[in-house]
Amino acid sequence: MVGAYTVTYTSAGVCPTAATFNVIVQPQAIGAVAYPQATYCQTLLQPVPTVSPAGGQFSGTAGLVIDPATGVVNLAASVAGAHVITYTPPGPCPVAATFNLTITPLDAAAVAYAQAVYCQTGTAAPLAVGPAGGTFSGTFGLSIDPLTGVVNLAASAVGPHTVTYTSAGPCPASATATFRVEPLALTALSFPQAAYCQQGSTTAPTFSPPGGTFAGSAGLSINPATGVIDLVASTTGSHTVTYTSAGLYPTAAAFALVVNQLAVGQLAYVAAPSPPTAEFCQDLPTVPPVAFGPPGGRFRATGGLAIDSVTGVIRPVASGVGSYTVTYTPAGPCPVPATVAVRLLPRDVAALRLADSVYCQAGTSAVPVALPSGGVFYSPSPALVLDPATGVIDLARTPVGRYELRYLSSGPCPAEASVPVRIRPRAPATVAYADTLFCPNGAVALAAITPAGAGIFTGSTGLVLNQQTGAVDVAASTPGPHSVTFTSADRCFDPATARFTIGVAPLADLPNVITPNQDGLNETFGLPQPAPAVSGYELAVFNRWGGRVYRSTDPAAPWAAPDAAAGTYFYHLRYTDCGGKAAVRRGWVEVVR
């Protein structure tokens, strides 16, 4: 019975003694233990027991992971199988209790899909599942069949997803598979322009996603990798470019464009072969193009050049001297402008000068001075014989007359200058004095000359002569024969010489025959002409019957027998010479007609 007791021990013998021992009989502590379930799956669940009395210790069979103080079983860390859990209550008289607990292993669940990334089109079925018979679930936005695990990609949201497969056994397990749903690569394609000219190449188009291929309609030369179109190699007209994306789920985009034929401009202001620069004189009123095309375009020029934008006619006179560029741009979507370099040149300033404007008909003229050099000389009259390169006139071969000598410069904008030229005949000058005999004490002898005007007189030695007038100072000159040469300032007259004597004149010789027939020979009868210086002059002519037919006291008026019949006549001549000597002559003269 429970309680406190004393035990006495008395020894036997004569002298027994006794000893005592106090004993307490305590009640037994009968333990009790229970778990919510007798069978558990090998999960992370940690079952907690119910015990009495509390405060005891737990232990289990080998492989069971249990907390000795609380009795909490770590199912996931324990070995699957049957286990006995012993609970020993506290106290001096514990009576342990046991609990049979079975740990069942979890199913080996597995799930996998073929790709880590799917496009948002079609479906995707699981590649591997185990054990069969479980269920599928997915993250929000994933459209999945819970029995088959087939994912409706087109109906699923874009983004990362996790599929969970849970087995159907008594200890189901879960496995996960992850993948991404990407939006469909919606192809896009565009070119900077919808219309191109048939020259060069296009720039690369804008397209997405990368990695696809390009194709074009028939006649379009296109790079399948870059989409660049060789416009020169392509035919003109409407075309379609298609871009197809790469990958398992390709899509395509199309772009319509037009390749237009080039309108190649042509322009010329000078007939073929055209020079690099068309040069015109700045004083021209208009310069039209000799050729341009195709028609309908517009003309323009660099600043300062006056040009009609429709006709292309240049107005040099309204423009400045200089270099310009004229551009003709054809009409249409694909014009190829044509350009021409134009230079407007200043007109030459021609000048012409001759040393003289009057020349004599002999020899050649002086070389004219003409500017700018390099031009050509000519005359409107073909009678003027000249060298076209030098302008020298052949005076001997050119008839007498008035002409115009012209000079045309040789520059691109030539100018003309002219001078008048007169060619006169070559003739001898004349010089004469009043007599061929002058008395030493006579007056100054004056010269009669042709042509009248300026000239130079030169005389023989001893002759006192005025070189400008030809007047001879007879009194101051040396007696004897002399000559005076007159050189006219007019070059067309040859020098002329007059001869005379200063001193007493001999008796004049008179002719005995005259022929007054107007032939200039032996026309008159009297003193030689010009008449010498005499005084007291008297000439009388008589017919054979003694009748006087002529009388003169002027020594410069000889008898010309104007009305005298042919025949013999008789004369009586008297005069006093400059020396004071009287002379008398009588004789006859025959008039022959």
Residue 83 lies in a domain: yes
User: Range with the lowest mean pLDDT among 337-341, 507-511, 512-516, 553-557?
Assistant: 507-511
3-state secondary structure of 527: coil
Residue 227 lies in a domain: yes
What's the structural domain count of the chain? 7
Greater pLDDT, 230 or 106? 230
Q: pLDDT tens for residues 208-267? A: 889 999 999 999 999 999 999 999 999 999 999 999 988 777 888 999 999 999 999 999
Burial tier of 279 (Cβ tally within 10 Å: 0-12, 13-18, 19+): middle
- Model confidence band, residue 422 (pLDDT cutoffs 50, 70, 90): very high
197 and 244, same domain (yes or no): yes
334 and 365, same domain (yes or no): no
Answer with the one of 85, 104, 123 that is the final residue of a domain. 104
C-alpha distances in angstroms, 329 versus 293, 417, 470?
A: 9, 43, 85
272 and 312, same domain (yes or no): yes
C-alpha distances in angstroms, 129 versus 110, 145, 150, 495?
A: 5, 14, 12, 148
Name the residue among 29, 46, 35, 37 with its Cα closest to residue 85. Answer: 35
Contact criterion met (CB below 8 Å) for 154 and 122: yes
Please state the three-class secondary structure of 301-355 as a single string. Answer: ECCCCCECCCCCCECHHHCCCEEEEEEEECCCCCEECEEEEEEEECCCCCEEECC
**pLDDT score, position 536:** 87
398 and 471, same domain (yes or no): no
3-state helix, strand, coil in the chain (%, to 5): 0, 45, 55
How far is Cα 102 from Cα 73, in angstroms, rounded to an integer?
11
Here the tokens at position 26 are 């305590």
Average pLDDT over the chain, rounded to an integer: 90
Greater pLDDT, 556 or 112? 112
Here the tokens at position 251 are 């899509």
How far is Cα 87 from Cα 82, in angstroms, rounded to an integer?
17
- Model confidence band, residue 275 (pLDDT cutoffs 50, 70, 90): confident
Residue with tokens 């040859």: 494
How far is Cα 51 from Cα 98, in angstroms, rounded to an integer?
10
Residue 389 lies in a domain: yes
**pLDDT score, position 107:** 87
Here the tokens at position 485 are 């040469």
Here the tokens at position 59 are 């232990």
249 and 290, same domain (yes or no): no
Residue 524 lies in a domain: yes
341 and 273, same domain (yes or no): yes
CATH number of the structural domain spanning residue 315: 2.60.40.10
Query: What is the DSSP code string of 549-586?
Result: EEEE--TT--B--SSPPSEEEEEEEEEEETTS-EEEEE
**pLDDT score, position 457:** 93
φ/ψ region of 395 (left if φ > 0, alpha if ψ in -120 to 50, else beta) reads alpha
256 and 267, same domain (yes or no): no
- Model confidence band, residue 347 (pLDDT cutoffs 50, 70, 90): very high
330 and 396, same domain (yes or no): no
Answer with the one of 182, 201, 228 that is the final residue of a domain. 182
Residue 359 lies in a domain: yes
Residue with tokens 């005999």: 437
How far is Cα 311 from Cα 475, in angstroms, rounded to an integer?
92
Query: What is the DSSP code string of 83-107?
Result: EEEEEE-SSSSEE-EEEEEEEEPPP
How far is Cα 508 from Cα 307, in angstroms, rounded to an integer?
94
Here the tokens at position 102 are 């079975």
**pLDDT score, position 442:** 63
φ/ψ region of 329 (left if φ > 0, alpha if ψ in -120 to 50, else beta) reads beta
Burial tier of 347 (Cβ tally within 10 Å: 0-12, 13-18, 19+): middle
Q: Which long-range contacts (CB under 8 A, 24 or more apart) does 200-207 make?
A: 200/231, 200/232, 201/228, 201/229, 201/230, 201/231, 201/232, 202/228, 202/229, 202/231, 203/228, 204/228, 205/241, 205/243, 205/255, 207/243, 207/253
How far is Cα 416 from Cα 426, in angstroms, rounded to an integer?
31
C-alpha distances in angstroms, 474 versus 25, 374, 435?
A: 214, 59, 12
- Model confidence band, residue 531 (pLDDT cutoffs 50, 70, 90): low
pLDDT over 90 at 488, yes or no: no
Percent of the chain with pLDDT over 90: 65
pLDDT over 80 at 69, yes or no: yes
Q: At residue 75, what is the residue type?
A: L
163 and 220, same domain (yes or no): no
CATH number of the structural domain spanning residue 575: 2.60.40
Name the residue among 498, 496, 488, 485 with its Cα closest to residue 453. Answer: 488
Cis preceding linkage at 276, omega within 30:
no
Q: Which long-range contacts (CB under 8 A, 24 or more apart) does 476-485 make?
A: 477/502, 478/502, 479/440, 479/503, 483/459, 484/431, 484/433, 484/447, 484/457, 484/458, 484/459, 484/460, 485/431, 485/457, 485/458, 485/459
CATH number of the structural domain spanning residue 213: 2.60.40.60
585 and 572, same domain (yes or no): yes
pLDDT over 60 at 535, yes or no: yes
- Model confidence band, residue 7 (pLDDT cutoffs 50, 70, 90): confident
Answer with the one of 104, 119, 145 that is the final residue of a domain. 104
Q: pLDDT tens for residues 437-468? A: 777 766 677 888 888 888 999 999 999 999 99
Q: At residue 281, what is the residue type?
A: C
How far is Cα 551 from Cα 184, in angstroms, rounded to an integer?
155
Residue 318 lies in a domain: yes
CATH number of the structural domain spanning residue 35: 2.60.40.1080
Domain holding 334, by residue range, is 263-345
Residue 361 lies in a domain: yes
Burial tier of 452 (Cβ tally within 10 Å: 0-12, 13-18, 19+): exposed
Q: pLDDT tens for residues 352-406? A: 999 888 888 887 887 899 999 999 999 999 999 999 999 999 988 999 999 999 9
**pLDDT score, position 179:** 95
Name the residue among 359, 418, 416, 417 with its Cα closest to residue 393. Answer: 359
178 and 212, same domain (yes or no): no
Residue 205 lies in a domain: yes
pLDDT over 70 at 506, yes or no: no
Opening angle at CA 62, ends 57 and 64, nearest 5: 65
C-alpha distances in angstroms, 560 versus 143, 202, 518, 541?
A: 162, 118, 10, 11
490 and 466, same domain (yes or no): yes
C-alpha distances in angstroms, 224 versus 204, 325, 531?
A: 11, 42, 128
